Amino acid sequence: MAKRKTTYVCQECGYESPKWMGKCPECGSWNSLVEELEASSASRGHTIGRDHQATQHPESITAVEMQKEPRMTIAMEEFNRVLGGGIVPGSLALIGGDPGIGKSTLLLQISAQLADQQLPVLYISGEESVRQTKLRADRLGINTELLYVLAETNLRDIVYHIEQTNPALVIIDSIQTTYREEVTSAPGSVSQVRDSTSELMRIAKSKGIPIFIVGHVTKEGAIAGPRMLEHMVDAVLYFEGEQHHTYRILRSVKNRFGSTHEMGIFEMKEEGLREVMNPSEIFLEERSQGAAGSTVVASMEGTRPVLVEIQALISATSFGNPRRMATGIDTNRVPLLMAVLEKRVGMMLQNQDAYIKVAGGVKLDEPAIDLAVAVSIASSFRNQPTKPEDIIIGEVGLTGEIRRVSRVEQRVQEAAKLGFKRVICPQNNLEGWTPPDSVEIVGVNSVQEALEAGIEH
């Protein structure tokens, strides 16, 4: 019997090496190479030659027949929105999040809502027993006969039960506990995760069954396992939030069947997760009136406008190098905007510490929030409050100009819905649409004009 060779596989990126190395040359992570046995030649399959008979043949794209399958929707409209309108049959979705954030609770509630529509659902848990899953179901008030639970980690048995049950939805919690007998490495390794996901993808596509798999996250917040795992699935969802706060955010970072960067807001209650239909009210309910350094911006999260408060605190530094800290926005944008205020407005911020925070724990990454951040910094530096009924929107250029933003009409309508009276936005965004009668639109071309309009004197 031939001796089986060993290889060293990086557990972060999947890089393979014939010998052990302390640092992975592909991703740069330390002590991530783990010894694994190479697959035998029999498991790899025979060499493909000219005599190979293919099961499918290429077709002209004009001859492909379309079969429109309706999406499966649940009672949670927030979840439907993040997926682009509902669950697509035959799709494979990956959900990641910190431990204890509520991933299993969310998926169990989704399963129960589909089962209430007389659709069988198979919930497979590799981390909890059937009785533990039953305890969570009792706490959530779930009692439906078409929700089937299974405690299994062997992929061969999982595939067998999927074929026997023929469910409308399958939940795998989690992919790190699933293993294939043919792969010699331990569960959770790169090889096991990759092969298990590949087999589940084959089941989903061939049988038209949507499958949701739970992925553990690393200490950096990314989904554990090889990066190719996110490329294999149809949708990647992140369930975010603080364990000591009640609000949770379901964010889409990849979706082949809908818009990316969609966001759904949930509130964790004793009886489970409850969707929040108007998150703007929550993010603004504790806003201080007449406080310096506070502005409100209308940010687009996918197709939905959300009003969020941005707070800034500028204070004289006690050290040689002033601090620049930001929570909820890119830290690199803070010194950039402060440099624009120094050069174009004349504010001496070189000896000032700057602390920027997006209230409510939301992460904003679009350029339309630049002007609101700049006005917050200037308001705190001058110790002059902004007008509490203003919304500030705009991208700031390095020469101090205010550049146009997208979907300004939807942002203004959301501001009018919550009772704001004035919107400060780029001058170039004023053409081609009619604002609501209850909102005054102020167009600005430079940061200096925005500060004169937005800060009380």
Per-residue pLDDT band for 220 (boundaries 50, 70, 90) equals low
Mean pLDDT of 129-150: 94
Cβ-Cβ contacts under 8 Å for 225 (sequence gap 6 or more): 11, 175, 176, 188, 190, 193, 194, 215, 216
Say what the pLDDT of residue 221 is. Answer: 62
pTM: 0.76
Q: What is the pLDDT of residue 40?
A: 54
Of 268, 178, 176, nearest in space to 224 by CA? 176
Residue 80 has pLDDT above 80, yes or no: yes
Contact partners, residue 373, CB within 8 Å, separation at least 6: 295, 310, 312, 329, 333, 334, 337, 356
Whether residue 225 is annotated as binding a ligand: the answer is: no
360 is in an annotated binding site: no
Peptide bond into 174 cis (omega under 30): yes
Q: What is the pLDDT of residue 265?
A: 87
Report helix, strand or coil for 106: helix
pLDDT of residue 113: 95
The annotation status of 100 as a binding-site residue, yes or no, is: yes
Q: For residue range 259-314, what is the model confidence (pLDDT) as tens digits? A: 877 888 898 888 899 998 888 888 887 888 888 999 999 998 877 899 999 999 99
Out of 211-225, 307-321, 324-338, 386-400, pick the least confident.
211-225
- Mean pLDDT computed over 111-131: 94
pLDDT at 48: 52
pLDDT > 70 fraction of the chain, expressed in percent and rounded: 91
* pLDDT above 90: residue 401: yes
Q: Parallel, antiparallel, or unpaired: how do β-strands 263-269 and 247-255 relate?
A: antiparallel
The vertex-196 CA angle with 15 and 230, nearest 5°, equals: 60
Residue 51 has pLDDT above 70, yes or no: no
Position 39 scores a pLDDT of 57
Contact 265, 276 (CB under 8 A): yes
DSSP string, 20-84: --SB-TTT--BS-EEEEEPPPHHHH-PPP-TT---S-----GGGPPP--PPPB--S-HHHHHHTT
For domain 282-454, the CATH architecture is 2-Layer Sandwich (3.30)
Higher local confidence (pLDDT), 127 or 185: 127
pLDDT, position 363 = 84
Whether residue 97 is annotated as binding a ligand: the answer is: yes
- Express each pLDDT in 166-212 by its tens digit: 999 999 998 989 999 888 788 888 888 888 999 999 999 999 999 99
Higher pLDDT, 230 or 312: 312
- 91 in a known ligand binding site: no
Residue 277 is predicted with a pLDDT of 83
pLDDT at 168: 95
The answer, yes or no, to whether residue 316 has pLDDT greater than 80, is yes
Which of 19-28, 65-74, 78-87, 392-401 is least confident?
A: 65-74
- Phi/psi for 426 (5° steps) reads -60, 145
CB contact set of 235 (below 8 Å; sequence gap of 6+): 83, 91, 92, 93, 94, 252, 254, 255, 256, 257, 258
Contact call for residues 213 and 103 (beta carbons, < 8 A):
no
CATH topology of domain 71-277: Rossmann fold (3.40.50)
Which pLDDT score, from 0 to 100, does residue 227 have?
A: 66
- The mean pLDDT of 324-332, rounded to a whole number, is 92
Across the range 138-159, mean pLDDT stands at 94
**Residue-level pLDDT at 45:** 46
Residue 38 in this model has a pLDDT that exceeds 80: no
Model confidence at 2: pLDDT above 60: no
**Band of the pLDDT at 338, cuts 50, 70, 90?**
very high
Give the pLDDT of residue 455: 87
Q: Judge whether residue 226 has pLDDT over 70.
A: no
Average pLDDT, the chain: 88
Percent of the chain scoring above 90 in pLDDT: 55
Average pLDDT over residues 400-405: 95
pLDDT of residue 403: 95
pLDDT at residue 236, rounded to an integer: 93
